[in-house]
Amino acid sequence: MFFPSIGVYLVLKGELDFAKRLIRENLVEQVNAFEDTLTPSILFDDSITAQEIIKTISYNPLISGVALWKRNLEPEGNSESYALFASSENYSPKLDRIVGEKWSTKTVTITKMIGNQGNILGYFSLSRSLSDLNTRKDKFIGFGLLSWLVIIVVVIVTLCYQISLTRPIQELIQVAENISTFKDYSIRARQLSNDEFGRLIKIFNQMMDSLNSSDQKLREVNNDMENKVKLRTKELSSSNKKLIQEMEQREKAHNELSKMREKFNRQENLANVGQVSSNIAHELRNPMTAIRNSVYFLRKHFITDQKALNHLEVIDSQLSQSDEVIQRLLELTKGGKIKLKITDLRKIVHGAFYICSPPGNIQLKVNLENTTKEVRLDPLLFRQILTNLFSNSIQAMPQGGWISLSATQKESNIEIRVTDNGEGIPEESWNKVFDPLYTNKKDGIGLGLSICRELTERHNGSITIETSSHIGTTFLILLPAPSLILA
């Protein structure tokens, strides 16, 4: 619609411009022609002849007005004025002294100056009616409006026809989209006509009825299958759960059996060791008794030097403690219980270190938290644990070094670490060093660390190798928090 409108407008504008150009050329020719005729009338002041000429011009029905002005000189000759010299009937325009053409909606006026030998004699004005041009313009406008009306009617008819053709297709597209989006096969298209499109919609609805019926049957079969699968899955889950429980129970029983077998083997080894130790203890007690009697005899009859008496006192004290350790170990092998009491941990540490008789090139470092200075344990047996660990550390440092013992409280445990900078223990031996009679020393018998583990477990604790390498070894002893006594 836009482009035809532009075409009509361009045609109308071209026709009007062409008509205006013809009217202007015709008026200019008439003004030039009448200029020569009217000039003598002005020169000789012949208004009658000028009026006759203007009357002749006015016979043209399209000429709406003709006027002639004559120049009047004032007596001094310095100023000028113009007076209406002749005009058509009932036409008395004012002179604006603008030479040229002037267009309005109803008329076009051409004004020209009349002169002679360079002197201005007056002005001549000719006005022409534009009624014929306006009539033609109105006809073109009417034609344009009629064209617009025809175009609008054609467009409306076309749209109606297009809608009547596409509406059933749009209905099918909308229904198909709804079915695809919502998966609802019960949606149906409206039958908007009885033509071919109406038959197409009817067939489409029949096809959807068939699909809906098939879908419902498929859903029923699917639901039945899902119920069977759920039931079977539930049965399998129950069976699997029972199987897992049975496997866990078997694994638990196997682990317990392994632990019992390991404990039995360890106890059997300890019993064998205990029997051997009992025999050894019996053999040791005889010479120890002889040594104690000799110490008593020397202290009573021969030695009076105080320094020597002090050494004899140390010998007697160590013999008593050794005898007590042997007795307590023998009791434990026979199922005896440990004797717990509040103990100064620092005192036990230094006592154990003293028993080991360390060389002068080995130092002891002790770092205890305030909450671990006093603990509830068996002082004699726990000292034996530390004595065994210190002895191993001293043997691992033939060139000298240091031994560090630290104790901290971590949540539900007391952590005691014994560290040295000795040769270290091979990693493949970490799990074996606590077994009875296992040793990698030429002169060892493999009882020290096994006794440490047994005594630690009697305290409801544990002992493990935390780290070990060529730069040293750290043993970690864990004691349960209930054994903690705040200082």
Residue predicted with more confidence, 432 or 366 = 366
User: What rounded mean pLDDT belongs to the chain?
Assistant: 79
Per-residue pLDDT tens digits for 131-160: 888 887 888 788 778 878 888 888 888 887
Percent above pLDDT 70 for the chain: 80
pLDDT at 487: 37
Mean pLDDT over 242-262 rounds to 83
Mean pLDDT over 199-218 rounds to 82
Q: What b-and-e string marks burial along 310-340, b requiring 16 or more CB atoms within 10 Å of the CB?
A: eebeebeeeeeeebebbebbeebbeeeebeb
pLDDT at 280: 60
pLDDT of 330 above 80: no
User: Shortest CA distance to 87 belongs to which of 57, 70, 67?
Assistant: 67
- Angle (CA) 396-399-405 rounded to 5° is 55
pLDDT of 480 above 80: yes
The Cα 95–Cα 60 span in angstroms is 23
pLDDT of 404 above 90: yes
pLDDT at 486: 42
The Cα 377–Cα 343 span in angstroms is 7
pLDDT of 181 above 70: yes
Mean pLDDT over 259-272 rounds to 64
pLDDT of 441 above 80: no
Per-residue pLDDT tens digits for 356-374: 888 989 999 999 888 777 8
The Cα 351–Cα 222 span in angstroms is 82
Output DSSP code: residue 484: B
DSSP secondary structure string, 179-228? HHHH--TT-------SSHHHHHHHHHHHHHHHHHHHHHHHHHHHHHHHHH
The Cα 298–Cα 155 span in angstroms is 143
Does residue 327 contact residue 336 with C-beta atoms inside 8 Å? no
Rg of the chain on CA atoms, in Å: 67
CB atoms within 10 A of CB 69: 25
Return the CATH number of 2-138, one of 3.30.70, 3.30.450, 1.20.1530, 1.10.10. 3.30.450
Per-residue pLDDT tens digits for 266-286: 566 555 555 555 556 555 666
Give the residue extent of every domain in the chain.
2-138, 337-483
pLDDT at 416: 93
Per-residue pLDDT tens digits for 49-59: 888 888 888 88
pLDDT of 242 above 90: no
Residue predicted with more confidence, 329 or 32 = 32
Does residue 189 contact residue 209 with C-beta atoms inside 8 Å? no
Mean pLDDT over 280-305 rounds to 66
The Cα 384–Cα 387 span in angstroms is 5
Per-residue pLDDT tens digits for 229-238: 988 888 888 8
Lowest mean pLDDT among 181-195, 223-237, 316-330, 451-465: 316-330
pLDDT at 485: 43
pLDDT at 346: 92
pLDDT of 328 above 50: yes
Mean pLDDT over 60-69 rounds to 83
- Domain at 337-483: CATH architecture: 2-Layer Sandwich (3.30)
pLDDT of 167 above 60: yes
Per-residue pLDDT tens digits for 443-464: 666 778 888 898 899 888 999 9
pLDDT at 14: 80
pLDDT of 182 above 90: no
pLDDT at 467: 92
Lowest mean pLDDT among 139-143, 172-176, 330-334, 466-470: 330-334
Half-sphere exposure of 118 (CA within 13 A, CB side): 0
pLDDT of 41 above 90: no
The Cα 425–Cα 437 span in angstroms is 16
Task: Kindly indicate the confidence band of residue 218, based on its pLDDT and cuts at 50, 70 and 90.
Answer: confident
The Cα 184–Cα 193 span in angstroms is 25
- Tokens linked to 281: 């203890």
CA-CA-CA-CA torsion for 380, 386, 391, 392, nearest 10 degrees?
A: 140
Residue predicted with more confidence, 373 or 348 = 348
